[in-house]
Amino acid sequence: MLLQLIRPMKQNKHTRLWNPGPTEVSERILISQSKPMIGHRESTFTDLYKGIIDKLNRFFEITNYHTYVHTASGSIWMDISARNLVRDKALSTTCGSFSERMYQTIGSCGKTVDKMAVEWGKATKPEQILDALSKDKYDAFTVVHNETSTGVRNPTVEIGKQVKKEYPDIMYIIDAVSSLGGDFILPEKNQADLIFASTQKAFALPPGLSMAFISPEAFEKAKTLPGRGQYTDLVALLEYYGKKNQTPSTPAISLLYSLDIQLDAMLAEGHNNIAKRHEDMAKYTRSWVEKHGMKMFAEKGYESITVSIVENTLGKSVADLNKELRKRKLTISNGYSQLKEKTFRIGHMGSWTVSELKELLWHIEEIWQL
């Protein structure tokens, strides 16, 4: 059984994912999930879960925030943010599909929210947020760090510096789903009150888990808000962990096994080295794009380092390219939503290296005869 699982991978029979999530998952990780089940109220589980939180805290240099790993993909934290951190009115900055989803989620949780839209492809700047916040009374604002639909990497550290200085009590919520763990981004350095990520992105793990880092101020604020739900009650989640080092409901234990061993690998490689590896892949892709007369979709200076979104200036069919790539057991992503065929996306996140990226780009060159 195990051999059947290993063999196709060794022969590279499966299609290797250069998508911006789910990303390629190693054989070692897949096998790590097949350990026997344990009860989630047993000390073996407590050791596993607390160990994971401790490793995350070490990896992300957490000194004073709360850390939580939830059994749900990253979008759950949009609901949690809306229900626990927005009392009166939120400002949602949007610059693509995923930041738009955050805006929609806050509204659908019954909270009042204004949108501050930035043109797709452009970055969200601190002065734009300061200006928007000065026009009304808000108690939360949201920013996506790495907009996976446009490839824009927003300057969240600078936003934190400038906006939290002016408005220290306004909750700063960051969606870092497709960058945390693969970028230089550190939760406390961003001054975020809640920042979240999914495991199927830069963590190179199967989908199904997400994590968030929460400021003490956010935890205190959540305690004062009604209607936090059950699975989305931040106070219940953090208090349960605080008392028992466990989760209130049954978690995806098999996925936690894989997160645990992946964190060992990430700690061994080091936060900065991982981010540098991603930056190297992004730089290589950008120079390849330029060399072949194409263009990055993101504003210069604000390009993502985990996913490169390339304008389809050559006017070739991205769908056909992917068909050919799949014959070679490789895949990239078409443009997202309205950017389909207008762009293509190379997700160089997770465990990929520059030399593997060169191989992928060589195949694209060959197929497109560049």
Ligand X SMILES: Cc1ncc(COP(=O)(O)O)c(C=O)c1O
Q: Which residues bind ligand X (CB under 6 A)?
A: 21, 73-75, 98, 144, 146, 148, 175, 177-178, 198, 210
DSSP characters over 290-301: HHTT-EESSPTT
Q: Give CA–CA dist 52/70, Å, rounded.
A: 12
Shortest Å distance, C-beta 179 to ligand X: 8
Query: Rounded to the nearest whole angstrom, what is the least distance from the CB of residue 36 to ligand X in the complex?
Result: 27
Q: How far is the CB of 178 from ligand X (least distance, A)?
A: 4
Is residue 207 reached through a cis peptide bond, with omega within 30 degrees of 0 on the bond before it? no
Q: Which is nearer to ligand X, 210 or 215 (CB)?
A: 210
Q: How far apart are CA 271 and CA 262, in angstroms?
A: 13
Give min distance, CB of 154 to ligand X, in A. Answer: 10
Q: Least Å distance between CB 231 and ligand X?
A: 14
For ligand X, the closer CB: 45 or 278: 278
| Distance (Å, whole) CA 131 – CA 40 | 48
Q: Are 32 and 61 a contacting pair, CB within 8 Å?
A: no
Q: For residues 86 and 212, which CB has a smaller minimum distance to ligand X in the complex?
A: 212
Q: How far is the CB of 220 from ligand X (least distance, A)?
A: 26
Pick the closer one to ligand X by CB: 174 or 234. Answer: 174
Task: Quote the least distance from Cβ 98 to ligand X, whole Å.
Answer: 4
What element of type H or E holds 114? strand 112-117
Conformation bin of residue 323: beta by default, left when phi > 0, alpha when psi is -120 to 50: alpha
What's the CA gap between 149 and 142, in Å, rounded?
17
Nearer to ligand X by Cβ, of 198 and 351: the residue is 198
Q: Which is nearer to ligand X, 74 or 251 (CB)?
A: 74
Report, in Å, the least distance between residue 336 CB and ligand X: 9
Provide the pairing of β-strand 171-175 with 140-144.
parallel
Residue closer to ligand X by CB (options 148, 312) is: 148
Sheet containing strand 343-347, edge to edge, reads 295-296, 307-311, 343-347, 333-334
CA distance 308 to 68: 29
Closer to ligand X at the Cβ: 45 or 211? 211
Work out how close the CB of 257 gets to ligand X at its nearest, in angstroms, rounded to a whole number: 19
Minimum CB distance to ligand X, residue 133 (Å): 22
Kindly tell me which of 50 and 101 has the beta carbon lying closer to ligand X: 101
Q: Are strands 330-331 and 307-311 parallel, antiparallel or unpaired?
A: unpaired
| 336 and 189 Cβ atoms separated by less than 8 Å | no
CA-wise closest residue to 80 among 244, 235, 186: 235
Residues pairing with 171 in the sheet: 140
What is the distance between the alpha carbons of residues 290 and 342, in angstroms, rounded to a whole number? 17
Helices in the chain by DSSP H: which ranges? 2-10, 27-32, 43-59, 76-85, 97-108, 126-133, 156-166, 216-223, 234-244, 253-269, 271-291, 318-327, 354-368
For ligand X, which is the closer residue by CB, 177 or 266?
177
